[in-house]
C-alpha cells in the first residue's frame, strides 16, 4: 500500500516529516495521501472501532464542526481498522438514528497498514487504533500529533484551535500562548519569538519603550495580532 516508508515500523512519526505517500480505500473511493489534499491542510484522526459509543459522539462532533475546519482550508479524514462496508453501515446508522450526515471520508485500514506506519496501535491497548490526531499542512508536512486512549473522547474545539494557531504562526511568524486566543495573561495577543542576538534584544527594549510592542522583558515580548 505504501510507496515510501519513512518511519520505523510501529513507531511514531516525527514532526516536520512529510506524511507518507499511501493509497487508501475510503468511504468515498480510493485516494492518495497526501497528494489528494494538495494545497489544503488536513486532519487525519483514528478511532478504535465503528459502532462504538465514544467514537459515535466524536464523529458527530467532527461533522458539526466541519464547516469551521473548511474555513481554515482544512479537510477531515477518519480511519479505523474496519472494512469499508462497516464504515458505510455505521455512517448510515448515524444518519438514520441521529440525523447527522457524515460528509468527510473514512479510511478502511482493515489490514492496519497505515495505522502501523503512523504508530496508531499500542501493544498495551489491544489491536484497535488509539484516538490519534495528525495535523498535516498544505505541503504534506506533519505539523502536530495528539494521542488519546480509547476510553477518552477528544475535544474537537482543541483540534480547531491547534490548526488555527499553526496557520497563524506560519503566516505571522509568531508563537501563540497557552489556550490562545483566550490566554489568561495575554488574551488574544501573540508572542514575538525571543531575540537571538544582543542587538536584537536592545531593539526589543527600544520598541517596547516606544509602545510598538509590549514586553515583560526582552525575551518575553508580545503584540496584537495584525
Which residues are documented as binding site? 131
- Residue of 2, 55, 215, 221 marked catalytic: 55
Q: Helices 53-64 and 156-172 sit at what angle, rounded to 10 degrees? A: 40
Question: How far, in Å, CA of 95 to CA of 193, rounded?
Answer: 46
Count of alpha carbons within 13 angstroms of residue 24, beta-carbon side = 30
Place of cell 480510493: 30
Residue 108: its H or E element: strand 106-108
Is 215 tagged catalytic? no
Rounded Cα–Cα distance for residues 124 and 41 (Å): 31
Answer whether 81's CB lies under 8 Å from 93's CB: no
Q: Determine the straight-line distance between the first and last CA of the chain, rounded to whole angstroms.
A: 44
φ/ψ of residue 103, rounded to 5: -100, -15
Taking alpha carbons only, the member of 47, 94, 39, 68 closest to residue 159 is 68
Q: Binding site for substrate, residues?
A: 131
> Are 22 and 134 spatial neighbours (Cβ–Cβ below 8 Å)?
no
C-alpha cell at 34: 497526501
Cα–Cα distance for residue pair 177/170, rounded to 1 Å? 15
What are the catalytic residues? 55
Amino acid at each position: 500500500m505504501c510507496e515510501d516508508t519513512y518511519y520505523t515500523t510501529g513507531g511514531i512519526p516525527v514532526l516536520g516529516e512529510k506524511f507518507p505517500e499511501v493509497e487508501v480505500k475510503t468511504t468515498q473511493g480510493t485516494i492518495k495521501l497526501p497528494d489528494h489534499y494538495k494545497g489544503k491542510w488536513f486532519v487525519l484522526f483514528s478511532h478504535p472501532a465503528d459502532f462504538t459509543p465514544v467514537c459515535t459522539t466524536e464523529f458527530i462532533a467532527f461533522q458539526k464542526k466541519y464547516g469551521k475546519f473548511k474555513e481554515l482550508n482544512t479537510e477531515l479524514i477518519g480511519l479505523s481498522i474496519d472494512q469499508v462496508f462497516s464504515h458505510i453501515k455505521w455512517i448510515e446508522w448515524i444518519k438514520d438514528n441521529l440525523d447527522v450526515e457524515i460528509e468527510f471520508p473514512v479510511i478502511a485500514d482493515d489490514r492496519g497498514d497505515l495505522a502501523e506506519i503512523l504508530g496508531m496501535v499500542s501493544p498495551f491497548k489491544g489491536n484497535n487504533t488509539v484516538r490519534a490526531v495528525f495535523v498535516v499542512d498544505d505541503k504534506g508536512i506533519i505539523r502536530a500529533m495528539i494521542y488519546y486512549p480509547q476510553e477518552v473522547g477528544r475535544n474537537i474545539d482543541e483540534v480547531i484551535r491547534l490548526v488555527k494557531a499553526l496557520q497563524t504562526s506560519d503566516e505571522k511568524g509568531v508563537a501563540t500562548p497557552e489556550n490562545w486566543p483566550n490566554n489568561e495573561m495575554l488574551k488574544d495577543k501573540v508572542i514575538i519569538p525571543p531575540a537571538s542576538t544582543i542587538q536584537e534584544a536592545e531593539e526589543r527594549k527600544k520598541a517596547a519603550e516606544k509602545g510598538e510592542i509590549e514586553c515583560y522583558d526582552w525575551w518575553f515580548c508580545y503584540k496584537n495580532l495584525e
